[in-house]
Structure 1
């Protein structure tokens, strides 16, 4: 598969791509750069807005605003003014000061889920939070160091989620009606000699696409967790894949430049950019947040 750089954005820590099927544009964030981006593949234009805190993830609301996971909590973001409105501020017990929010996605029923992490990536103080349509926020998983790989199977019956330092992606049974999760089990376990699991998505065939930080790779796993395909990337730190395009047949991949040495940055001149390739399968349309 031919991988191309579609936006040489020079992000510090590009993450959280979200393809909005309504306006046909790719939203993504530069976590450490404190920026929200919106990329238009028709024009190649990449707009960006500053955020008051580091920003982990986002999704589009039904009214066109954004729901964003900033360091301290969840906020609405107005693209016209770059203003934020507080939605949920978890307690210090659930979200201590050293934490920030990371991966986030909307489930098929329109709830926003986001994982938190210890910003130093050392302590298991993070977890998985669910924001429902009534704007009530609840933590469902704890003892996580770096939340990642959040997504659902095509029929919404399985939730996937990882803790990067454990190199483990888990699967849960997911109840779409209630938003409850149960029956946690290991889906993919990477060896200690490998990179670590980062962002993920699924295709319409139910296969799981995973960016592996540090590996130069995006990988495809079947529904049993068996590796079936590997896509070599031009950068060492791909961060998250997302299906997009008019037919949802393009995978966009964000990436990071953080922590790379000067020689590595020279070798990877497009690190921190957004990449695209055609995998030969289609994805699933992302839902908008219904809160």
Structure 2
């Protein structure tokens, strides 16, 4: 195990805490509780907590250049959401409510595109998930299909490769990435988790190593750029969901967790399940990026034509 120091556990008791991100401009850490339709903001190091209601389950999000606005992957599609007014400014619906599908993990690339993938939650056996990319002009493209549960979106430090996990397959994949065009190439297997442990949300550190939250694995696993195991950070609950680096020096690790699917006996033992954990590490993250809303300002509260959904 890697030498780190656990410095805090923020007691929020999330059902499904996810999508944790560091906002360097505000010096705050943000995350979502998907099933409770909540967006969290925690100032750091002040530890002042704000909670915002969302109109649908908020599955993934990223920051934008617009004050009080995130780009969101709600359960049915993409949106620009003013979290202080509780108002959707622009949206592109891709899924029907009640379809058995919803969005899941997503992240913004260094060129400002927002990527998010879907998953089935109705118990179907086919891999019905799709990975989408939202451009700053509102155009949505389909980048990958045949996915069970989309997870772990992130890029290496020079944007030459894209990482993506399909959790039930216990597989983290790597794709060659064309940063200029925003296209992914042929996928290759990067790493596999052990039986009964599933890769969830992920990030990349300044050395190019991948950090993957391991659902049911009670740890954050570190992988070298060639996919080899490079240590782990133990988490005192079995279901860590996502990880990011933050803090003034980008050397703090923030980890969201979940109590979803845990029975009463397990919850008695994992009484901290659903909390946000903070670790001091000898590693550093990389700066996050923002979605540019300027090209969508003239489309606020207007539907996006369906022909803007184009194949990759």
Name the TM-score class by shorter chain. over 0.9
CA shift at 1:87, angstroms? 2.4
Kept in 2: contact 1:3–1:233 (CA 8 A): no
Change (3 A) 1:39 1:88: same
Instruction: Indicate whether 1:230 and 2:225 are aligned.
Output: no
| Residue in structure 2 matched with residue 46 of structure 1 by the alignment | 49
Where structure 1 has 5 or more consecutive residues not aligned to the other structure, the ranges are: none
Kept in 1: contact 2:203–2:211 (CA 8 A): yes
Mapping of 1:40-79 within 5 angstroms?
40-64=43-67, 65-79=69-83
| Residue in structure 2 matched with residue 81 of structure 1 by the alignment | 85
Mapping of 1:1-291 within 5 angstroms?
1-64=4-67, 65-90=69-94, 97-120=99-122, 122=124, 123-191=126-194, 193-291=195-293
> What is the aligned-residue RMSD (CA, Å)?
1.5
Paired residue secondary structure (1:265): helix
Larger Rg, first or second structure (1 or 2): 2
Aligned residues: 288
Paired residue secondary structure (2:5): coil
Kept in 2: contact 1:10–1:272 (CA 8 A): yes
- Normalised TM-score (structure 1): 0.95
Paired residue secondary structure (1:26): strand
Q: 2: distance between equivalents of 1:91 and 1:58?
A: 17
Paired residue secondary structure (2:18): strand
Paired residue secondary structure (2:81): strand
CA shift at 1:203, angstroms? 0.2
| Residue in structure 1 matched with residue 302 of structure 2 by the alignment | none
Paired residue secondary structure (1:3): strand
Which of structure 1's runs of 4+ aligned residues deviate more than 6 A? none
Paired residue secondary structure (1:124): coil
Paired residue secondary structure (1:246): coil
Q: 2: distance between equivalents of 1:249 and 1:140?
A: 32
Q: 2: distance between equivalents of 1:55 and 1:223?
A: 31
Where structure 2 has 5 or more consecutive residues not aligned to the other structure, the ranges are: 294-312
CA shift at 1:85, angstroms? 2.8
Moved more, 49-58 or 114-123: 114-123
**1:57-114 CA distances to partner (integer Å, 9 max, x unpaired)?**
111111131111111111111122111133222266xx98211111111100011011
Q: 1: distance between equivalents of 2:16 and 2:8?
A: 16
Q: 1: distance between equivalents of 2:160 and 2:200?
A: 21
Moved more, 117-126 or 17-26: 117-126
